[in-house]
Amino acid sequence: MKLNDICKSLLACSVGVGALAAMPAHAEQTTITLARFFGACEADYGKVNDVTKAKGECGIITSLVNQFNATNKDGIVVKPEIAEWGPYYDQLTSRIVAHNVPTIAVMHQSVLGDFVSRKLVEPLDDGFKSVGINTADFTPQARHGVILGGKTYALPFDTWSWLWHLNTNILKKAGLTNADGSPILPKSPDELLAQAEKVKQATGKPYFAWTTANETAAPTRTFFTLVYQQNAQVFSADGRKISVHTAAATNALTLMNKLWTGGYIKKGLDYGATQQAFLNGDVAVDVVGNWTIDDFYTAAQKPDSALHDGYDVVPFANLYSKQAVFADGHSWVMIKGGAKSDKEKKAALTFMKFLWDHDFDWSRTGHLPANNTVVQSAQYKAMPFRNNIIDITRYGVSTPSNVPRQRAIEAIVGEEISSMMLSGKAIPAVEDAIETRVNTLLAGVK
């Protein structure tokens, strides 16, 4: 659905009418718009206004908006404008140029720096104070993502990272579980290759599923993780140059290439097929982010599932000298020109406070909370697998915020690594191409 058609969608209309009906007679309506991805699920959650009854990213964010519209006493109506993830930022930029700016927009923290440097995003410190959002409660990872130059430019919603989702039923067949059923994780590249071969010999199945078709994010995030685990970086201190002719980068690419050529990665999978391969029991490990935890855990409760009594999740296994993993996060921003009046700005901040107060509900997706109070709560720690991944809020590594065009860089790096795997491009040539293409891009950024 195109963004400029979304405001006319049945969802936006039904939400607005429903909220208006629930509004106290004395309240004057204030309508704000919310640009987001996370999918569309009106058939399942369009009328659900109790977030505790929702599951998954789409269900939870949809229900949160519905709940706010149904319960706030200020006459505020939030109208969602739902976009597909892929073209979201291009469409958002086009909307800014056309002066069709949403009141609030979701934004990856890795993208925030580009919008801040162009002076397109409102600083929010004073606004947060006015509604009772304390930035001291942000987790360390969240603070890194939304505070630039000493100013807070977004409300962090979560931290997500690169995880290993494990089918321990398959690992058990390969002798890779402990007596208590917990997985035996590799601690070096050689151990990983040896374990992958054990799975292949015992089950005939590849060790890994990760997306290699029609997407570039997966290989880039894996590559960055492997470099970070060697206590190395790829970007210069000023964020304007990439260097991958290094021992750490070569080690990472060599390992990824060995996994591919050894048949340890299931080939030809786009994003959807990657997740389905894991659900079907076709692979031992799915390399993907936090957002699939809730769905995989739900599947594992079904007796006919390949994951039944055999699902676990851990941070990307530590294969080198340093505990580290690629991390990013979702946040909410107010783009300049979105709030047309002080009243709309206050309404937007009120809704942001509602989202902040419901950070635990969002964390049920599998995303790590941005609210340190939630991270430390018994309620959060009691959820499945959270103790496995909670320390990512401490040692997750984000690309530095002074590196511009991070999404474009992710695409370039992923394309070149895919060329190595799919067409046999030599590693030195891959490193040459990454440096040439990325540094040309960075040199052109004003």
- Alpha carbon of 34 to those of 92, 329, 370, 425: distances in Å? 12, 18, 20, 43
Distance CA 307, CA 354 (A): 35
According to the model, what pLDDT value does residue 26 have?
Answer: 53
Residue 193 has pLDDT above 70, yes or no: yes
In sequence order, which ranges of 46-159 are alpha helices (DSSP H)? 56-71, 88-97, 109-117, 125-131, 140-146
Distance CA 441, CA 239 (A): 12
Q: Percentage of residues in the chain with pLDDT exceeding 90? A: 87
According to the model, what pLDDT value does residue 216 have?
Answer: 86
pLDDT digits (tens, 9 = 90+) for 123-141: 999 999 999 999 999 998 8
Q: How confident is the model at residue 215 (pLDDT cuts 50, 70, 90)?
A: confident
According to the model, what pLDDT value does residue 375 have?
Answer: 93
pLDDT digits (tens, 9 = 90+) for 260-295: 999 999 999 999 999 999 999 999 999 999 989 988
Do 3-157+329-395 and 162-327+405-443 fold alike per CATH? yes
Supply the CATH classification number for the domain 3-157+329-395.
3.40.190.10
The answer to whether residues 33 and 7 touch, using CB atoms and an 8 Å cutoff, is yes
In sequence order, which ranges of 204-321 are alpha helices (DSSP H)? 217-228, 247-261, 271-279, 293-300
What is the average pLDDT across 48-71? 96
What is the average pLDDT across 219-237? 96
Higher pLDDT, 382 or 19: 382
Residue 18 has pLDDT above 60, yes or no: no
- Amino acid at site 340: K
What is the average pLDDT score of the chain? 92
Q: How confident is the model at residue 4 (pLDDT cuts 50, 70, 90)?
A: very low
Structure tokens given for 182: 């917990």
Residue 12 has pLDDT above 90, yes or no: no
102-116, 143-157, 305-319, 394-408: least confident range: 394-408
pLDDT digits (tens, 9 = 90+) for 313-367: 999 999 999 999 999 999 999 999 999 999 999 999 999 999 999 999 999 999 9
H or E element at residue 158: strand 158-161
- For the chain, the structural domain boundaries read 3-157+329-395, 162-327+405-443
Lay out the sheet containing 396-397: strands in order across.
Answer: 368-369, 158-161, 325-328, 396-397
The answer to whether residues 272 and 214 touch, using CB atoms and an 8 Å cutoff, is no
pTM value?
0.86
Distance CA 255, CA 252 (A): 5
Domain 162-327+405-443 fold: D-Maltodextrin-Binding Protein; domain 2 (3.40.190)
